[in-house]
Amino acid sequence: MSILNRLRHIYYDAKGNKWFYYFAIFCRVMLALGFIPSGIVKVMGERFASGLSVNHPLGHYLEALHSTGYYYTFIGITQLIIAVLLLIPRTALLGALMYFPIILNICVLTYAVRFEGTRIVTLMTLANLYLLCWDYDRIKYILPFKRDRPAEHFAEKKALSNKFPLLFFASVIAMVASVIVINHFMYNIRPGNSAIECTNGCAGNSNPKACLEFCDCIHRKGKTLNECLVEYNNAKETNK
């Protein structure tokens, strides 16, 4: 059996298991809940993540976004529509397809500015990918791949299997742990969400004085992340 055919059999076996089905529902609900609060905030015209320092690299972006008027409201309405689509079984695939480019953009943004929320955004992106994989049997018709014949796998509709996929859920737990650990060690310094949060993290930094200068550069002077990283590296060399 070819690798591709093997993957197809694994996929259709998963589609016939109620635990994978329940996990898809869980992902849909969690992703919808992730968009509803942020969507409401934007529709109401309030600044998203109001606790985030304006001088934070992401704070600069959100402040500018908040100043775009009806475009800001449009984003909020779109997020609410997508959340509703995810919660309705018949429209869940459309919701997942619309969700993906938005959450992928947010994910790349949070990593680019070293935001503290990268972990949860990464997990949201992975959950969205799971939903897209879950509906591969519907998405495959718009993909430029050779399609298999459904009759080969489902000649008759069968009852969902009750077998618990221990390996899959162990992999999910391992994936979550990996995201948390990798994000913890990915950067040697982060700006934190506020000046206090940033300076509090300097105690565990290899060069606390350079770290404090970095925090001052970000939160008091309001310089860009790249500029402050250059100053931080220079300060480390000076304070050796």
pLDDT digits (tens, 9 = 90+) for 65-116: 999 999 999 999 999 999 999 999 999 999 999 999 999 999 999 999 999 8
What crossing angle do the helices spanning 118-134 and 92-112 adopt, rounded to 10°? 150
Which region holds residue 222: left if phi is over 0, alpha if psi is between -120 and 50, else beta?
left
Work out the burial of residue 53: count CB atoms within 10 Å of its CB; fewer than 13 is exposed, 13-18 middle, 19 or more buried: buried
Domain boundaries of the chain, sorted by first residue: 3-152+163-187, 188-240
**Rounded-to-integer distance, Cα 140 and Cα 129, Å:** 14
Residue with tokens 């304070």: 239
Q: What is the DSSP string of 122-182?
A: HHHHHHHHHHHHHTHHHHGGGSSSPPPPGGGT-SS--PPB----HHHHHHHHHHHHHHHHH
Output the pLDDT for position 8: 82
pLDDT score for 10 = 86
pLDDT at 156: 46
Residue 220 region, left (φ>0) first, then alpha (ψ -120 to 50), else beta?
Answer: alpha
Give the number of other Cβ atoms within 10 Å of residue 162's Cβ.
Answer: 8
Write down how long the chain is.
240
The structure tokens 């950067």 sit at 187
**DSSP bridge partners of 161:** 17
Query: What parts of the chain have a pLDDT lower than 70?
Result: 1, 50, 145-158, 239-240
pLDDT (0 to 100) of residue 120: 95
